[in-house]
Each structure stands twice: as C-alpha cells, then as structure tokens.
C-alpha cells in the first residue's frame, strides 16, 4: 500500500526509524485505531506529504521527546545522556539534587527541576526518578536488563536528549555532573568510571576558575 512505500522510503527500512516514524504518525493523529472496524487507519495524503515529519531519525526523536515527555522526564534523560552508557536511579537522584542546589543550577537544562525533587527525603527523590525511568521504559526509550542499571535503547535517543540541553549551558552542566560524581562515587566506583568523570570535567574546565 501507499503507506508501506512511504514509511520505507522515509526510513530506508531501519527498524528503529520505522518504530519512531509510526509512533509520530500516531501522535499526530495521522495513524489511528478505528474502534468501529477494529482496524488501523491513516491519512494517506498526510503520510505521503513532504510536509509530514522529517526523514532524519535524530529529528524524529527530538520531536518525540519534546512533545510526549514531561519536563521532569526530559531532565532525567538529559542527565543520563551526559553520563554515557549506563546510569542508575541512585546516581541520577544524587546528581539532580546537586543541580537543584541553587536556582541557577536548577535551570541548567532549560527546565525547572523543583517538581522532581523534594529536599525533605531522599526516598521521595528516588521514587520520583524511578517513576521517570519506568515511564521511559514504557516508551521504549530506555532498557534495563539487571533491574538496576539503565541505558538508552539507541544512540539516537541519547543524542536527541543531549541536544535538548541549551548549547550555552552544556559545558557547565557537564562540569557540575562531573563534580557530583566525584563527590558520590567510592574509590572503586570512580576507578571504573574515571574516563567518564574526566571527560565531563574537561568539557567544563573553562568554568572551574570562575
């Protein structure tokens, strides 16, 4: 059918791109499930239109993150994108708490973090972060194989999350994340993540003397 040809031409058969493309179609109401016929239907003209949705997978992911996720969830993904391959709820909570220390730091990612963190108890912070992570699991943005460590399902998800951080604030944000890791990690943990920490600190080195 026309929709099959259009999806293939726009995604070149890339499975990840196909999934994101179909999700975006559903989000915009172009693809929908008809209760009356119990079948999926779509607007053929919109699907084939050059005006509809970018063919670039990264831009499709940015569209999804900006339009389907709450600011809290986006903030967690942005911190995760700075951490690289894997991250756990405890580390995310600790870093986010440090970023919340001042109003200036709280706005580093371009969003307010106050609704995510309650300074009264660490437990509340942990639960909130886990809720954000579970939401991302349900959206197919993250995966967790051992019940503790999370990672992005695709490099394009990480790239899209990182791109949503205002460019002028990225280096300082990464510096603060690196400093938070130095504060939290044990010597053994730091040894395992030394390259990540050093890279984060290097990216914000221009702010260290300020």
Q: What is the pLDDT of residues 162-199, one digit of tens each?
A: 999 998 889 989 999 999 999 999 999 999 999 999 99
State the chain's mean pLDDT as an integer: 80
CA-closest candidate to residue 57, choices 189, 177, 163, 171: 163
Outline where DSSP puts E strands in 105-208: 142-144, 150-152
Tokens of 171: 């280096």
CB 36 within 8 A of CB 30: no
Predicted confidence (pLDDT) per residue in 82-113, tens digit? 998 789 999 999 998 888 874 454 455 554 44
Question: Which of 113-122, 143-152, 181-190 is the least confident region?
Answer: 113-122
Buried b (16+ CB within 10 A) or exposed e, 86-111: bbbbebbbbbbbbbbeeeeebebbeb
**144 — pLDDT class (breaks 50, 70, 90):** very high
CA angle 38, 136, 155 (to 5 degrees): 105
Integer CA distances (angstroms), 79 to 10, 19, 168, 182, 208, in order:
30, 25, 16, 15, 20
Tokens of 91: 């580390």
Q: Is the pTM of this model over 0.75?
A: no
CA-closest candidate to residue 17, choices 54, 45, 52, 50: 54
Please compute the mean of the pLDDT values over residues 106-126 and round it to a whole number: 44
pLDDT value, residue 17: 77
Q: Taking phi first (over 0 means left), then psi (-120 to 50 degrees means alpha), and beta for anything else, what does residue 38 get?
A: left
């Amino acid at each position: 059918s026309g929709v099959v040809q259009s999806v293939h031409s726009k995604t070149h058969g890339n499975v990840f791109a196909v999934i994101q493309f179909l999700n975006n179609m559903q989000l915009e109401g172009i693809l929908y499930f008809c209760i009356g016929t119990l079948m999926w239907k779509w607007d053929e003209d919109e699907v084939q239109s050059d005006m509809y949705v970018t063919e670039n997978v990264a831009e499709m992911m940015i569209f999804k993150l900006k339009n389907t996720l709450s600011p809290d969830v986006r903030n967690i993904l942005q911190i995760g994108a700075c951490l690289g391959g894997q991250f756990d709820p405890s580390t995310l909570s600790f870093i986010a708490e440090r970023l919340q220390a001042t109003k200036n730091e709280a706005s580093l990612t371009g969003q307010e973090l106050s609704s995510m963190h309650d300074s009264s108890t660490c437990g509340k912070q942990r639960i909130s972060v886990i809720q954000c992570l579970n939401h991302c699991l349900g959206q197919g943005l993250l995966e967790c194989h051992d019940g503790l460590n999370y990672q992005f399902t695709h490099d394009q998800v990480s790239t899209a999350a990182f791109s949503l951080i205002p460019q002028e604030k990225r280096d300082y944000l990464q510096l603060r994340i690196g400093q938070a890791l130095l504060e939290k990690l044990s010597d053994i943990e730091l040894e395992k993540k030394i390259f990540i920490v050093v890279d984060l600190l290097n990216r914000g080195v221009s702010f260290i003397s300020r």
